[in-house]
Structure formats: structure tokens, C-alpha cells
Amino acid sequence: MELCHFVSLETLNLYHNCIKIIPDAIVNLQMLTYLNLSRNQLSSLPACLCGLPLKVLIASNNKLGSLPEEIGQLKQLMELDVSCNEITTLPQQIGQLKSLRELNIRRNYLKVLPQELIELPLVKFDFSCNKVLVIPVCFRKMVQLQVLLLENNPLQSPPAQVSNVCHLNCDFRIRIG
């Protein structure tokens, strides 16, 4: 990717291409704060991506099966959108994203939400359209959360009270049999 020679780039929008691999040379973009990789054919994100000063990372509508464990190194990251992928688990290191305000993990294959998420200062959290059965009780500690989207999950019970949620979108259906 010859774009990696533009070392002063702050914003890079690679939306809707046919990209299958992000080259390691992306580490040369040490000014990059916004990266949109949506609607490509990525099956993974390289660990070296986590060495960038990203504030926004959008990698929705790809074929991601997981996130790199190094994701916790993105200390300035405020928005992470990995919706519409094939992610089955989130790494524990996601709890190290101390600046993260918005997390969109909609339309993946998640069954469990890691407790480390309560460490995040999330204002908006979308985990709708997954396979989550239970919302951990510890999520009550997410005091900054204002928007929680969790519809279309096979939840076994309604969500317990979550502190300051102003907007709760929940489609709860009791399954009998």
C-alpha cells in the first residue's frame, strides 16, 4: 500500500474496497487518528495497527473473526466499530481502552461479554444481534453509559438496571420449550 509513504496522514478512509490484508507498513502513519476499513475483505487486523495514535477505528462489514490482543495499546481510541463481522470473543485487553466512549460490536457471533468492558468509560454500547444469553451483573458499574443497544440477542432475562442509561433498546422475548 503506497499510502503508507504519506507519513503526515491524519485521516484514512478505505471504505468499500477489496482489501484483504493491511500491510505492516501502516505503522509509518504515526499521525493517523481516523481509520475506516469498512466493507472490505479483512479476516484479521494486524497487531501493528495498535501502535498508531488512532482515536477512531471503523472496521465494520469485513470477515474479522477476532481482534488482536494488542488492541489494549490503543490508549487514545474513543470509537471502535467492528460491527457486522464474525467475531466470537473479545480479548480481555479491550478493558485497557481507557478513552473508549463508543463501542459497536453489533452483528457478530458473541456469546459472552467480557467483564473487562466495565473498565471502559463507554457512553454508547451496541451489542445487538449477537448470541448473548446473559448480561453480567457487573455492568451496573458502567456509570457513564447513556445508550445501550442489545436487541436481537437470546437473553434469558431482562437486563438488570444499568446506571444512567438514557436510551435502552431491548427486544426481550421469553423462549418456552
**pLDDT, tens only, 112-128:** 999 999 999 999 999 99
**CATH number of the domain within which 16 lies:** 3.80.10.10
Residue 107 lies in a domain: yes
Listed in sequence order, the DSSP H helices in 19-160 are none
- What is the rounded distance in angstroms from the CA atom of residue 168 to the CA atom of residue 116? 21
pTM: predicted TM-score of the whole model, two decimal places = 0.90
- The domain tally of the chain equals 1
- What is the rounded distance in angstroms from the CA atom of residue 105 to the CA atom of residue 143? 20
CB atoms within 10 A of CB 75: 13
Residue 151 lies in a domain: yes
Residue 170 lies in a domain: no
Q: Which of 138, 23, 127, 114 is nearest to 80 (CA)?
A: 127
Q: Is the pLDDT of residue 173 over 50?
A: no
- What is the rounded distance in angstroms from the CA atom of residue 1 to the CA atom of residue 87? 26
Which residue range is the domain that position 142 belongs to?
A: 11-162
Q: Which of 15, 53, 21, 9 is nearest to 36 (CA)?
A: 15
Report residue 5's pLDDT band, with 50, 70 and 90 as the boundaries.
confident
Give the per-residue pLDDT at 7. 92
Residue 6 lies in a domain: no
Render pLDDT for 22-67 as a digit per residue (tens, 0 to 9). 999 999 999 999 999 999 999 999 999 999 999 999 999 999 999 9
Residue 5 lies in a domain: no
